[in-house]
Amino acid sequence: MPRLWRYGLVLSRQKHVADDLVQATCVRALERAGQFVAGTRLDRWLLTIMHSIWLNELRAQRVRQGQGFVDAEQALSFDGEALAQDQVLAAQVIKRVNALPEAQRETVFLAYVEGLSYKEIAEVLHIPVGTVMSRLAAARMKLAETAHSSGLLDKSSGERR
């Protein structure tokens, strides 16, 4: 459940919406339990269900707003100076990841937080593996650009300041 909730939070960026997504995912999974293939990963199946629910919600919101159907692609703790700097750096990284386009942000989350393989990410998001690789490459480039432009990394060596 924590993995589902984290993914719901990545998708929606709102705790109450993440809670609703988890609940809707569990309900749909129970309703469609017969569709689960024994021997496959339950977490991946649940992440796929949540992704589908989220896309449907986005489409419904856009229709309600008169925008029609749109393609879906479109606690600091201080224990010394080093820990404080690490926490600030982590907050900056999270801020930059959250600023990525939705498709890149969710792909980065599934790869680096949930540890899914490219193939697993492709299955969860219903996209080709090449698209996963492309999204991750674009996200890495964007994160590197923002890190360099903000002085987060030393421009000459690429190392953290």
Per residue in 152-161, pLDDT (tens digit) is: 554 444 555 4
In CATH, the number for domain 75-156 is 1.10.10.10
What is the 3-class SS of 136-147, one letter each residue?
HHHHHHHHHHHH
Q: Could you tell me which residue, 124 or 77, shows the higher pLDDT?
A: 124
Question: Which fold does the domain 1-73 belong to in CATH?
Answer: Rna Polymerase Sigma Factor; Chain: A (1.10.1740)
**Annotated domain spans of the chain:** 1-73, 75-156
- How far is C-alpha 50 from the chain's CA centre? 12
State pLDDT tens for residues 35-91. 888 888 888 889 889 988 888 888 887 777 766 555 555 533 334 555 556 566 666
Q: Which two tokens stand for residue 159?
A: 């190392």
pLDDT of residue 126: 92
Contact between residue 123 and residue 81 where contact means Cβ atoms under 8 Å apart: no
| Residue closest to 72 by CA, chosen among 83, 95, 56 | 56
Digit-coded pLDDT (tens) for 2-39: 888 888 888 888 888 888 999 999 888 888 888 888 88
